[in-house]
A = this chain, B = another copy of it.
């Protein structure tokens, strides 16, 4: 799905430990021609959150809808439609939905950072 709309991509539950109410959708990958990178859309239910974790690759984020925050190394940053955020490699981070609607955002990672889409 190199070209389309994130809501038309197939949602898959995120099964990572400590993920709550999180689905992800594959939008663009090396298979589409973006060598080395993967663009996904994440959707967090009200009350949903990703694990508070750290890894060796960065995240590039763009807010799509809803009201959420990303905590980056102890600092909270609002993430909503049109916001952008950068999570540097090796920095503890977590995404949380603070609103009463779905919170959704783009998350770009190097391909080594994307769990395989089965």
A83 at the interface (CB under 8 A from B): yes
> How many protomers of this protein does the assembly include?
2
Q: Verify B84–A81 contact, CB threshold 8 A.
A: no
Chain B residues with CB under 8 Å of A84's CB are 1-6, 27-28, 39, 106
Taking A28-B60, A34-B60, A60-B28 as contacts, is the C-beta distance between A5 and B83 under 8 angstroms? yes
Interface residues of A in 82-96 (CB under 8 A from B): 82-86, 88-89
Q: List 16 A-B contacts (CB under 8 A).
A: A1-B84, A2-B84, A2-B86, A3-B77, A3-B86, A5-B83, A6-B82, A6-B84, A7-B82, A28-B84, A28-B86, A33-B58, A34-B58, A34-B60, A62-B62, A84-B106
